[in-house]
Amino acid sequence: MTFIWPDMLVWLVLVPVSAIAYIQMQRWRQRSAAVYGDPGLVQSASVNRLGLRRHIPAVLFLGAFTILIIALARPQAQVSLPKLEGKIILVFDVSGSMAGDDIKPNRLEAAKAAARDFVDRQGLQNSSGVEIGVVSFSDGGFSTQSPTTDEDQVIAAINRLTVQRGTSISHGIEAALNSIAAGNGQPLTLSTNRSESPSPTPTPMPKGTYTNAAIVLLTDGENNQSPDPLAAAQAAADRGVRIYTVGVGSAEGATLHIQGLTIRSHLDEQTLQQMAEITGGTYYNAQDEEQLQQVYDNLNPQLAIKPQMMEVTSLFAGAGIFVLMVGGLLSLLWLGRIP
């Protein structure tokens, strides 16, 4: 247990001081009765018949005082609470080909618009425990925004994305899987050899581990760096993570001018469809924004028990008041007064 205001606990020194004062007062009363006699003979006889019970109200008052001092320190305790959990990771291709203008104003801006619309549609549904994270990739994958229910943070992360270089879809999927598995101590490292399947380290997670998670991959599908995107999709499938691929671009393609070279870039729908099929997801086209809502509808949030720190001041305050009331009631019934 931790305390927000631990300095308040110094008041606990008054507890033993009060106990000693009460004991000394009882001894003084006994000496006074023996020397001078007790003028309240009837009440004294009644109290003496109670024996040690006559001290119970005082003990309860002292206990209530102790509990209330602890409550003033605002204690926090780790409690296990049930919580619905689900994660959606938006994975953006920010490679050079996303500057293609076959979708206006360009592919990346179209992908960002589709993603913003998707996030906006979630609205208050995120209060159900579904979190959205943002990952970007070019020749490497980066977690731009960890999964959160804060819509403003997600939108801000999307707006910050700009076109970079290179394309490695696998690195984007790797970053997304690591974002999903954050806190489980099971990072995923994909092989850099196209002929090899990605292998998680140190040990594989069981298939279907993350049925409450999904990846939304927004890309033109063109990949020019290893590992193989289909092998990365298989790694996601083995964990129960579905990949919903969103094709950004057109079959006609766009002409790009990069470092003095003229390159023709096309939407690779075949690869994106295969990735979605491997993981049990669905392929969409970025221009069909309405369909993206199905990603959320198909998500299966799971009830999990998670420990978290919670302030328990009210519990201590309530317990202190209850003990105080019991002590006062017993004192009134047994002694005819409240100490």
Question: Is the bond into 339 cis (omega within 30 degrees of 0)?
Answer: no
196 vs 85, residue with greater confidence: 85
Instruction: Please name the residue that has the structure tokens 């305050």.
Output: 317
pLDDT of 173 over the 90 cut? yes
Confidence of residue 195 (pLDDT cuts 50, 70, 90): very low
Instruction: Compute the mean pLDDT over every residue in the chain, rounded to the nearest whole number.
Output: 78
Kindly state the DSSP code that residue 4 receives in the 8-state scheme. Answer: S
pLDDT of 239 over the 70 cut? yes
Confidence of residue 306 (pLDDT cuts 50, 70, 90): low
pLDDT at 234: 92
Tokens read off for 169: 């879809």
Q: E strands of the chain, at which residues?
A: 2-3, 75-93, 130-137, 141-148, 188-189, 199-200, 213-219, 242-247, 254-258, 261-265, 283-285, 302-311
pLDDT of 75 over the 70 cut? yes
Confidence of residue 56 (pLDDT cuts 50, 70, 90): confident
- What crossing angle do the helices spanning 14-36 and 56-72 adopt, rounded to 10°? 160
pLDDT at 196: 43
Confidence of residue 155 (pLDDT cuts 50, 70, 90): very high
d(CA 46, CA 303): 59
Tokens read off for 337: 């007064």
User: What domains appear along the chain, each with residue ranges and CATH number?
Assistant: 2-73+310-335 (no CATH), 80-300 (3.40.50.410)
Tokens read off for 188: 């995923």
Confidence of residue 128 (pLDDT cuts 50, 70, 90): low
- Nearest in space to 135 (alpha carbons), one of 165, 101, 94, 106: 94
Confidence of residue 253 (pLDDT cuts 50, 70, 90): confident
Confidence of residue 34 (pLDDT cuts 50, 70, 90): low
pLDDT of 163 over the 80 cut? yes
What are the Cα distances from residue 217, in Å, to 151, 214, 291, 332?
Answer: 19, 10, 14, 72
Confidence of residue 339 (pLDDT cuts 50, 70, 90): low
Q: Which residues pair with 265 in a beta bridge?
A: 254
Tokens read off for 179: 């974002």
pLDDT at 29: 75
Instruction: Please name the residue that has the structure tokens 């109290």.
Output: 47
pLDDT at 278: 93
- Nearest in space to 307 (alpha carbons), one of 127, 107, 77, 106: 77
pLDDT at 273: 93
Report the percent of the chain where pLDDT is more than 70.
Answer: 73
* Rounded average pLDDT over 151-175: 89
Question: Between the ranges 7-11, 63-67, 161-165, where is the mean pLDDT highest?
Answer: 63-67
236 vs 49, residue with greater confidence: 236
d(CA 310, CA 73): 14
pLDDT of 250 over the 80 cut? no
pLDDT of 46 over the 90 cut? no
- Nearest in space to 246 (alpha carbons), one of 128, 86, 85, 116: 116
pLDDT of 265 over the 70 cut? yes
- Nearest in space to 193 (alpha carbons), one of 152, 225, 233: 225
What number of other Cβ atoms are within 10 A of residue 137's Cβ? 28
Phi-psi region of 221 (alpha: psi -120 to 50; beta: other; left: phi over 0): left
* Rounded average pLDDT over 235-244: 89
273 vs 284, residue with greater confidence: 273
Confidence of residue 90 (pLDDT cuts 50, 70, 90): very high
- Nearest in space to 173 (alpha carbons), one of 130, 233, 103: 233
Q: Cα angle vertex 144, ends 139, 146, to 5°?
A: 130
d(CA 176, CA 34): 83
197 vs 269, residue with greater confidence: 269
258 vs 185, residue with greater confidence: 258
- 81's enclosing H/E stretch is strand 75-93
Amino acid at the residue 59: V
Confidence of residue 33 (pLDDT cuts 50, 70, 90): low
* Rounded average pLDDT over 104-114: 85
What number of other Cβ atoms are within 10 A of residue 74's Cβ? 16
